[in-house]
């Protein structure tokens, strides 16, 4: 009899973390590897946020806090939702976890029964299906066409709903494509969801502030009659370059928040007290740098998209937000190149050109790969040159 749980066999390690780890190992071995796999801003945490953490340490704020967040942080979150999203919540409708990932995991553990279905539009963030499986649920993957901007349509949503559907996950702007849902697109999805009163919506808004051009961000709870069935998740990791601080949060129906609190009370208990103090300053302090940093990402996005579209056999949509692109490499797969899958493509790219990217199949859509451009222009220029040379060698 194996000591390892049977439920663990249902899932696999995170592919994005695996790629980043492989890149680190190759670098340690002396290889000149450029890692474009990590979804992490290369900017530093703002000084006012770091200073708030130092003040908290010196003030002795190093003890346990309430399981799912300090009152000060919950108040800052309530204020943020009201100011930025026109959503009114009480602090009893807010939960804080050790990263957005924990909030999502807690949500599924607290709400899913065996066989409950969760609709997940693909391409998806790699952890969604595995979290659902661990919680005993069933991922219902809906593949979204490139011609639709990699976004689920109202018609496809309607077809995916069954009597067992419990959740729909919406991620906008998206990881891995950067696609953002417009107000009109969200309204169309809402019309379908309003008719199915047992379905809840998990809105993953972690890239809310990383958006470009004239794209206007909306979250589904603010423009529909579905607020009482929506859990809106966000965090400080991407917008404030605080990935290592591990603070995510969500607001929604009080019964779900209570259930999440119960799960967290038997796992990590409270997130780091110091990180929470820093997050208060992040949300309440100056926001001026956010747009400036988004503009820097925009310059990189434009360069990467233009570079990729100049490569024979590669095509790439220009995303609305986040810091990823999801180029199509299907024309470079087949007997001619001896690369049968996108996994073969990214493995050979790493082996021959020392550029680490993630295969599209890891995100639920074959024939693509994901690039994170959250790194310096210097590295991006070298990486694009290497990718071009590699692809030309296949033609």
Q: Given this model, what pLDDT does residue 3 score?
A: 86
Helix (H, G, I), strand (E, B) or coil at 225: coil
- β partners of residue 368: 328
- For residue 55, what is the enclosing H or E element? helix 47-58
22 neighbors 350 (Cβ within 8 angstroms): yes
Q: At what angle do helices 342-353 and 15-28 cross, to 10 degrees?
A: 20
Tokens read off for 83: 């100011």
Domain boundaries, the chain: 6-44+289-394, 63-284
Please tell me the distance from the alpha carbon of residue 321 to that of residue 172, in angstroms, as a whole number: 8
Place of tokens 């290592």: 244
Show the low-confidence residues of the chain (pLDDT under 50): none
With contact defined as beta carbons under 8 Å apart, do 297 and 212 qualify? yes
CB-CB contact of 278 with 53 (8 Å): yes
Q: Rounded to an integer, what distance in angstroms lies between the CA atom of residue 161 and that of residue 168?
A: 9
Q: Give pLDDT tens digits for 342-369.
A: 999 999 999 899 999 999 999 999 999 9
pLDDT recorded at residue 25: 84
Closest by alpha carbon to 154, among 178, 181, 116, 174? Answer: 181
Contact 358, 37 (CB under 8 A): yes
| Six-digit token string for 91 | 């602090």
Write down the pLDDT at residue 153.
Answer: 98
Question: Which pLDDT value is given to residue 254?
Answer: 98
Alpha-carbon gap, residue 205 to 171, rounded angstroms: 6
Output the pLDDT for position 17: 75
- For domain 63-284, which architecture applies? 3-Layer(aba) Sandwich (3.40)
Q: How far is residue 7 CA from its own chain's centroid?
A: 24
Which CATH class for the 6-44+289-394 domain? alpha beta
Q: What is the pLDDT of residue 19?
A: 73
Report how far apart, in Å, the C-alpha atoms of 247 and of each of 73, 232, 290 are: 10, 15, 18
- Spatial CA neighbour of 107 closest among 134, 73, 140: 134
Relative to beta strand 34-35, strand 138-143 is unpaired
Question: What's phi and psi for 193, nearest 5 deg?
Answer: -70, -35
User: How would you class 58 by CB atoms within 10 Å of its CB: exposed for 0-12, middle for 13-18, buried for 19 or more?
Assistant: exposed
Task: Enter the tokens of residue 255.
Answer: 């019964």
Beta-strand runs (E) in the chain = 34-35, 94-97, 117-122, 138-143, 165-171, 200-204, 230-235, 248-251, 324-325, 355-356, 358-359, 369-372
What φ, ψ does residue 168 adopt, rounded to 5°? -120, 135
């Amino acid at each position: 009899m194996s000591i390892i749980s049977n439920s663990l066999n249902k899932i696999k390690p995170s592919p994005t973390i695996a790629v980043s780890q492989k890149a680190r190992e190759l670098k340690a071995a002396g290889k000149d590897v450029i890692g474009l796999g990590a979804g992490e801003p290369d900017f530093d945490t703002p000084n006012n946020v770091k200073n708030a953490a130092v003040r908290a340490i010196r003030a002795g704020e190093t003890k346990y806090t309430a399981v799912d967040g300090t009152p000060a942080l919950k108040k800052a979150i309530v204020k943020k939702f009201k100011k930025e999203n026109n959503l009114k919540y009480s602090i009893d409708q807010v939960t804080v976890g050790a990263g957005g990932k924990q909030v999502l995991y807690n949500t599924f553990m607290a709400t899913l029964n065996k066989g409950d279905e969760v609709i997940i539009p693909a391409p998806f963030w790699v952890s969604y299906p595995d979290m659902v499986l661990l919680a005993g649920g069933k991922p219902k993957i809906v593949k979204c066409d490139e011609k639709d901007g990699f976004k689920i349509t109202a018609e496809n949503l309607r077809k995916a709903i069954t009597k067992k559907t419990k959740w729909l996950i919406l991620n906008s702007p998206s990881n891995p494509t950067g696609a953002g849902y417009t107000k009109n697109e969200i309204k169309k999805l809402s019309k379908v969801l309003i008719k199915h009163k047992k379905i809840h919506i998990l809105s993953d808004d972690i890239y809310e502030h990383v958006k470009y051009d004239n794209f206007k961000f909306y979250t589904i709870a603010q423009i529909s009659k579905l607020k009482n069935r929506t859990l809106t998740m966000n965090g400080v990791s991407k917008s404030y370059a605080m990935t290592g601080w591990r603070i995510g949060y969500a607001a929604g129906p009080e019964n779900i928040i209570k259930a999440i609190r119960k799960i967290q009370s038997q796992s990590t208990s409270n997130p780091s007290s110091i990180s929470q103090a820093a997050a208060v300053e992040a949300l309440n302090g100056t926001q001026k740098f956010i747009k400036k940093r988004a503009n820097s990402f925009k310059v990189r996005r434009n360069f990467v998209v233009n570079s990729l579209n100049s490569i024979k056999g590669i095509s790439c949509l220009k995303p609305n937000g986040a810091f990823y692109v999801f180029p199509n490499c299907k024309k470079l797969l087949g007997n001619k190149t001896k690369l049968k899958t996108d996994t073969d493509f990214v493995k050979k790219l790493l082996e021959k050109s020392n550029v680490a990217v993630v295969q599209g199949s890891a995100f639920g859509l074959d024939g693509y790969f994901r690039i994170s451009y959250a790194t310096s222009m210097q590295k991006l220029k070298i990486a694009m040159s290497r990718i071009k040379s590699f692809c030309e060698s296949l033609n």
